Structure 1
Amino acid sequence: MRRIGHGIWKLRAQAARATLIFSLLVTGVACATTGELDEPRDPPRIEKLRLQITKVRNAVDTTRHAVARARGADYSPELYVRLAELLSEEARYHYQLAYEREQGASRSMTVPQVRLLKEDAIEIYERVLRDFPESPLAPRVLFNIGQEQRELGNFDEMQSAMRRLVEKYPKSPLRFDALLVLGDYHFDKQNFTEAEKFYAQIVDAELNRHDGIAHYKRAWIRMNRGDCKSALVEFEGALENAKAWDELVAKRAAAQQTAQGISEQVGTQQDIDVRRESLVDMAYCYSREKPFKGALAYFQDHAYNRATYLAAVSRLAARYRMMGKYGEAADTSRELLALGAANDLHLDDARSFYSALKQQKSYDNIGQDTRLIANMVFGYYSRPTIAAEERERLVAEFETYTRDLLTSAQEVLGKNPDHKTRSKKKIAQAQSIAAGYDVYLDAFPASEHRAEMLLNMAEVLSDAQQPFEAGRRANEAAALLEDATTKQNALYDAVVYLQESLRTTRDPSKYRRVTARATLRNVGSQLLGFDIEPDKARRVKFAIAQTFYDEGQYNQAIDRLTAVAYEFPQTEEADAAVHLTLDSYNTLNDFDGLMYASRRFLAEGSPISAGVKGEVQGILAAAEQRKLDELSLEAAGEDGGGLDQLIHFAEQNPSTEVGERALINAFVAARAVGDTAKVYEMANQIAEKYPQSEQLPGIYSSLAQTANTRFEFNQAIDYLKRAAQVNEDQRTLILTAAAELEAELGRTASAQGTYETAVRKSKEEARDIALSGLAILLERNKSASEMVAALQPYKSSSEPEYQARLGLAYLASGDAESAETAFSEVLVNEASASPGALGRAHYGMAELMRLTVESYPAPSDLDMLQELIALIDLTQQSYLQAARQGSPTMTAVSLSRLAVASEMAAKKFLNIRLPDSISVSDKKDILDAMKARSEALNDAAQQALEACGEQAYSSYNFSRVVRQCLQNQKLTTIMIPMDPIKEDRSNPDGGFEQLRGELAKNPEDLERLATLGKHFFEKQNYHAARLVYKKAVDAGGGSAVLNELGRANEAVGDLGGALNAYALAAEAGFEPARKNLKKVLNTYSLGKVADKFEARLDGSTESEDP
């Protein structure tokens, strides 16, 4: 109990003590004990009380003297109250002294000093009220009078004092204490209606320290009336308000209010934890009114510490057990075991938990549940205070409980409707039971039922799809069993489980697989020592033999598996043993042994069934084929020495699949050793002897690739065309590749014919790629009319490259309408068009606009003039749009033609004829404006021409159009002029065999590429040299290779390509390339351009513009 103020003792608020004193005083018995007291049974305690009485009497005397001296002083009320409280304190010590002397035998004792002292105190309190009615201590005095009267048993006087306090001092905090005392008085009398009125006044007022207990008492009133629903509301109110008050007190303390300021509140002191008691007591109604779902979370949220939570859950568990709700009882007991300490109380919870689980017959969490029970029991009996006998009793008791739960759970699992299936639910349940058995074996290692439980555990582990652990447990159980039959059955179960674990792939652990095989051999060997049934012996021997196969010990596996097959013929194990035997030979690459064993198993007296013989025949055929493949591999050695034997084998098996395969293998082997002549020979033999072979397309394609890597271009083209003949699906792509190679070699006519063949023989949906290539070829080498004649038959195609070039050909031929249709088709399919196609389409549209401007009549009025201006602006924008598409070729062409269009438009503005209706001054202004616009267009034309020429410096674009721009010449045709590639019919395929062979092995060997290119150039095979140098540049060749590429381009007529290569090499600092660049530019009257390049390469910005 706490002190209140400076030495002011807590006023006796405890109803129980008041009742005891009342029973002492109202008896009216004045037992005058005049004799001497017996010797105290507890002298130290009694001496302490005597000392307290002496101190209080001294304080009383001192206070009386102070009262006498301070008569009439302002602080007299405080002295009187102090004196009364000291008298009450002395009375309390007298009562405690008497109680101690009686050794607590009874609290109903007669102590005259108590009544006399309390009556003196009441008289003093009454005097304070009478003499000092306006004193601020009046509420406190009234409350103390009420308390003294209650302890004296004068309940009417007590009620009068408390009511007087409530009515006269409605603002005093002590009114709540008075209301609580009054409510408790009626509550004890079971006058709940009157009690509730007083409690209601407390809870309806502002938050106070008795809010919580008032709600708590109201909840009990409703429980006594059977209204659990309302009681729950009141209990929750008690929890919330008690918590709110605690938080308020803490907030005041944090706000630097003194502890004295908080504690100097006279009144009843609560000796119960309202929050704890409310949460615990509400369990009764909660279990009746609310569902269990969420109950634990609810109580956890409202509990302020673990002890409170566990007390509430314990009460809740007891309620559910009493109500027969075993599922809820199990869940609450589970929570208690999980969180509770190992003591007697929670040991009973473990017993209750066992009973609830048995009644519920639901074992979904049996693994966790047995762990909880075992942990509680172990924690309890591990305490040093527990005697050995008690420990043994507890172990025996809970071993029985745990074993009963696990066996019951396993029984329920076996009765499950889907117990024969492996549903996820059953597997999870089995895993939980297995975990429970694991707990049992750890918790009770000396149990006499250990072997039996191990066997049970093995069974549920099998149901849980853990056959490896099941086998280990069954083997462990067998070691404990003494009965031969039972031991034999356990060993056989272990074999079955371990064999199953090796068949499954759920556990990839290498350790488990190795352990399972070793354990299976050990257990199987033990089992074969018994006289077991033939069927079991067959399975066990096969399982042992299979472990050697699984472990990779194939020689031992072959011996054991063959023995099983012949010992138990015409059985499932015999068939399986034969398959594994043959697979062992195959894995060892022992094809001779495989063929021998296969023939043996197919011979008379074979142990295999008829159905398996067909499979063995297939294996034998495959073995023979593999033997052939082995010979083929030997023939494909570095020296290719076995090729002749392979070809001979093919000749011995003509017109057969094996013969065809032999030739194909010879072809592959020849290619592998780099014997190109033999490769071509084998390909020709395959085509001649097996013209319908499905391998021909691949062979021809492979040969074309080989020839191309050897830079044997004629051979490559020939094999591509052969491949196209036998490969209808890829015909278009293959012919297109052949045509592209022909075009690169300067064989324009042949390339055009190949493209046209590809277009004619292709399906409509596959011909676009060939059409695109054909259009590109014709654009470079043919006139507009020739292009239209060749391309027009396929105008339904929407391929952008094709349509863009066909449109330009139409336009150059005078068919503007068809041209516009083609250009529109490209722009509609913009997303799939290349920059070159888009550039040509926009360029074509700009040319159509130019033609419109060119044919536009001389303006005769302002409207026509404005329309002409708009047309010219639109034309310029169209050319610029074409130039921006990212194609270097079309950028130059569009800028050059923009210059042409601008000059034409400038002349238009100088030929304007204005009507006479316009004034002379207006005419002058308009003509001046048109003259200025004409001059601006001429400037724009020159700027466009210069921008065109600038392509040579910015991107090294030296196309034919750019070279004209550099000479200040504009493009005068719609068609795009290009450097014509010279025709070439030379055969570059002969010679340089060693060099070609080395390049076939390493196509990106820069040194050998440069050497081959030089050989081609020296033999005047310029087109072949150009292809070789292009390959070298793509492979990372430097400036020297670029210079040689420029020479090759110059030799075949590709002047733009030559200048581009020279410029790149010169920029890299290669002096010969710089000289070649200057020489060619000077040759073609571009000396000023050469000088400007020289200046740029030297780092100077001062040069004369060309």
Structure 2
Amino acid sequence: MTKRKVQGVHMNHLRRIFCRLHSTWYGPCVVLLWLAGAQSAAARPAIHKSDKAKNFAPTIEDNANYYAKNRRNISEADLKKADQLRLKTVTSIEDLLKSKKGASRRFELLLRLGELHVERHDYVRDSEMMQYEKAWDSWSQAKSKDPKTAGPEPKLSVASSNDEMLKASESFRKLVTEFPKHPRTDAALYSLARVLTRLGKDSAVEYYQRLIKGFPKSPLLPDTYLSLGEYYFDKHDIGTAIENYKKVMQFKDNKAYPYAVYKLGWAYYNAPAKNDKDTQENYRKAVAAFKLVVKISEQNEEYGAKSKSNVNLRDEALNDLVLVWADGEDVDAAWKYFQTVGSSESFYKMLERLGNIYTEQGRNQQAIVVYQRLLREMPVRPTNPEVSVRLVELYDLTGNVAGLVTELQKMKKTYIDESPWRDSNAKNQVALNEARHQCELTIHRYGAMFHQRAQKTKNAELFATASDIYGIYLATFPDTPAAYDIRYYLAEIHFDRKEYEKAATHYSLVAKADPKGKYMKAAAFNAVAAINQLVVDTKWPDLPPAGQVAKPIDIPAAKQKLIQVIDLYVSLLPQEKDGDAMRFTAAQTYFDYGHYADAMTRFEKITVDIPNTKQARTSVRMIMGFYAAREDWGRVTSWGQKFLAQDKILDEPLKKYVTELLQSATFKQALVYEKEEKFEAAATSFMAFQKQFPTNSNADRAVYNAMLNFYKVGKIEQALEAGNLLINKYPKSPMVVDTMASVASTEETLAKFEAAAKVYHRLASQFPQDKRAAPAMYNAAILYKGINQLDQSVALLRELGQRFATAPQAAEANMTLAEILERQGRYPDAIHAYQIYVKQFGDVDTDLGLYASAKSATLTMNHGDKANGQKALDKVIKRLTAKNAPTALAARSTVAQILFKQSEVPFRDYMDAALNDGGRVEKQVSDKQAKLVKLAASFERIIDLGSPEFTVASLYRLGEAHENFANALFKVPAPNGATPAATDKLRTELEKVALPLRDEAYKFFETAYQRSKEVDTFTTWTRLTYQKMVELAPDKHPSIDELSAEPGYLSHSVKIGQPISDIVSSGI
């Protein structure tokens, strides 16, 4: 019978469940099916929902369902409400039966109570079935995922429904016992017999017989004969069953009639036969019976499409015709009939059944033809996936591997991909789900099957087939739980077949699919192994030497794939030691092909992620060596700094390597900056080198270079810091003396005189053999002198004289020493120092020798023995005024100064000599003139020395003296008592003398000014001289605010002037 749903439960399936359970109350329900030679249907394994074939005849329960209230298309909620009402009714009846009120109605109440328990049995049984079905489905799904954890298969429990049926039998027994002569005792007997039949009790026959004998005119006779036929059919007593079914056919207007005809067809179908002729005759009678049912149903719709029964006899009969015609292999007759009744679908059901029969009989090629026709002519049947599965099975049985694979591909294309079949069944979600399930199950099954066969036989073709089928599965169901295992198996097959790239692809997908998956680690590793084997087995073109690839070369696809699977392995298993070498291989690949940036990035990551490994240490050498070879000292430096900070990565040999390379690179990078005239960067780099490697042999040179580069960019303070660092940190460096000289000079330039003096002194003390020692010591002394640290200056000058007596600076140092001592008022020491100079250096530098002699004489005369001092001074004057005397300007100035100073007293005495007595005027004029002559002689002596300053001063004094004499003459008073005439005469005479004297005075002034210009000497005397010129000849000389340069300026190109006698044309 066809599947039908009661509360969503398929009755056919329920029947099979009961058969499988061998229920004690239902009894054995396996009906023998004589199919092509009395083959027992019991031999066929019962399957669950996926079983669409009809292998079992209608049962007693089907008969009960035929008579039961219609439950089709009624919701579960409504059925539940009905049952609740039923329970209330049962309670009410039971209460009435206990009371006296129900006595008169006891028969009806007991009958109704029994019927209610039967109805409850049907409802409870349906619920039990549904619960079991749900439990079985859940178990089946769990088993498909993991059989070990699915647990035992669920068992159907019918205790509750069976209890209701027992209660019904109790009620009906009471009726039969208590009311043997009741007008409706036949109903009681029938009801009891039906219940006992459904309970599997043989005693039911007795009650049927009592009804027949006791109530020959009962309207229940047709039902009774039908029930007896059902009983004997269930007992496999087909002959007796047929007799009873035929008796029912006497009552053509009874509801039992069409069902009896229907069961008569089944009885003939299952009737025993002695030979094929008998079998075919039985088939013919069965066909006739089923056709009659169809005809009755068409004539009376109550039994057909509009039937209110739970059973549509027309559909059942058509389906059963499929079974009989299939067994009889009468395809043409079936086609004609089904076309006549408008049920081509039934024909194809028959065709499908025929294919099943061929398959069961081992007539595989015929079955294949049938199934192929079925799929070809009805391509959108919802059940086609099952047909395709059978085709696959048959291809496997017949060894048609190509057909099998092709059919699996068709299944994917037809039932999974977009296709007419899917479009036609779009609203049939059950069919779509079942198709998907069948496809997945079948493709999985045969993939595993061929894989197992291949593993056992090592047959390459079997491996290829397994690979193809696994490929179909994964293309169709990439995300199912089984896909994980299948993909791994497929990868294994590809690897064994040396299809390494395909193997790696699937291994990678497995590894990525589940980080905690059972194959994750193996798959990730095998993906690398597969591509690595491909790389190893391939002969590659030669590459340029390592690190010398001018332009990046395209990395071959296989090696790119290797890098990808390595990256996957490392990302999934970062702690695995196997990944250490893999990481390095990936980085080395990039390096070999000239992708240096990527290579360096990967080498660096190795040093960070797995520092305490051989690969990390080698990566350090790769990075450092690469940049060193390219003379990219900046990167060598930065990487070296970074690596030295990673303690875990460095063993002693590597630490030494990195340190030495870093030292070299840092220094060379600074040199590069210097060459590029990036002086500040160079300086900074040199200093960084020293800071990091203070004990390196080049540390002092780095600091020295830093100092020079700081100078070049005007970073004087930084230069000095570098210089002082070198001086103090590396005192034995060959650059120290140069550095000291530079630092001292710079400090001096910056007016840091004391600091400069200390460095100069240190240079002289530490490096006495250096040619700069004496100048340095002299510079130190001079700087101390400049900041008025005279004692330190004196000490250094004396030390210089002792240690560097032959140095060019010795003479100057001696002279400076004498001058400082004189400045300090240490005159004896100063005189001694001047005398030593004369003794040691007088012949070397005559000018300074004379100067020292003049100073010695002057100091002796002023602060010691005046007489001897004067003698010494006269000797100097004699030398200075001798023929071919040396220039000796300083000596001349010194002597001239002291002579000029000595002339000041006589000059003042002369200037103070007054002409104030007219009576004694001659005497006074005579005395003043005498003084003038002496004074002129002293000034001429000074002028003869040729000192520019004091020559001008002496000429100025001579001008003053003559002007003074002239003014004194103009102011001589008249003698007492002199007449005006006498006075006038006196004035006239005096003016004759005074006027020339004033002109002479002007000439002296003019000559002094002219000499000052000639010798470029502009002092206070120059200014005073010009003022006198303006005063005496204002018309010739305009007045100015300032004329002379700063006092004390002395040109070094002074010429010795002419004697005063040549300058003054006439005396007084």
> Is the TM-score greater than 0.5?
no
Rg larger in structure: 2
Which band: TM-score by shorter chain?
0.3 to 0.5
**TM-score, normalised relative to structure 2:** 0.33
